Chain A
């Protein structure tokens, strides 16, 4: 059950990543090569990237409950692996100009921004849930006091 839930969360993350990568690619593309034309195959690029980016997230899986510190370390490791995966894709791609340091830095920066935003959105969702839980907790405790 726990692993099933883990996979469902990864699926949600996959769709979030696909959307954000599409936005990032279009912004970077517009800035550096706005006149470029692509075939239909390019539409799959954000999906492929999102799928590849999902692989490093598996390092957060654990059978036992991780402490906040352990989880933070694993998240940092995940970010490093993500950067490695994306830069690997960039350096093996024929369309990305990896000879330009600025392009490489922009790609690395985009990964960092997407990572921070994705975690921020999840944190905001959890915060809203925590507020609701606290309201219900107050009602519960008043009822049984």
Chain B
């Protein structure tokens, strides 16, 4: 695939245009990368596609192989796998806190002990997300900026 960068004038709309014969996984990855760099993710709700600002996401959860994006009041389905989102969203304050959950650290109100060495993250939305003890070490490191 050729890559062409064209400089435009100040009044023109900046855009990334992908010309392809087929929308392959690779093309989707490029599109995803561009969107996430702009701080937005695509999600589907009621058969309509939305562009959701990453900063509005509270957490991302994988349930039975499907990925869901949670904002304060809505749930969107995403076509991306949680591991794909994990690497892309690390710089956007998202951290894996269990096998199936990525949590936005900026949306945590407090952390409480749960049973068996686990913790519960109480979010600003009032929702509670379990932090598995396997990921507590990574959480500590992330919060300390390591």
Residues of chain A touching chain B, judged by Cβ–Cβ distance below 8 Å, are 1-2, 5, 9, 60, 64-65, 67-68, 71-72, 75, 122-123, 126-127, 129-130, 132-134, 136-137, 139-141, 143-145
Contact = CB atoms under 8 A, between A and B. Distances in A.
Interface size class on chain B is 20 to 34
Interface stretch (B19-27, B37-45, B78-86, B111-119): B111-119
Decide if the interface of chain B is mainly helix, strand, loop or mixed: mixed
Contacts of A143: 145
B144 interface: yes
B133 A5 contact: yes
Contact of B143 (A5, A64, A133): A133
B134 A126 contact: no
B113 A75 contact: no
Nearest to B107: A141
Interface string B91-117: 001000011100001101011111111
Given A64-B99, A126-B113, 10 more contacts: A65-B98, A65-B100, A68-B120, A72-B115, A129-B113, A133-B139, A134-B110, A137-B111, A139-B143, A141-B105
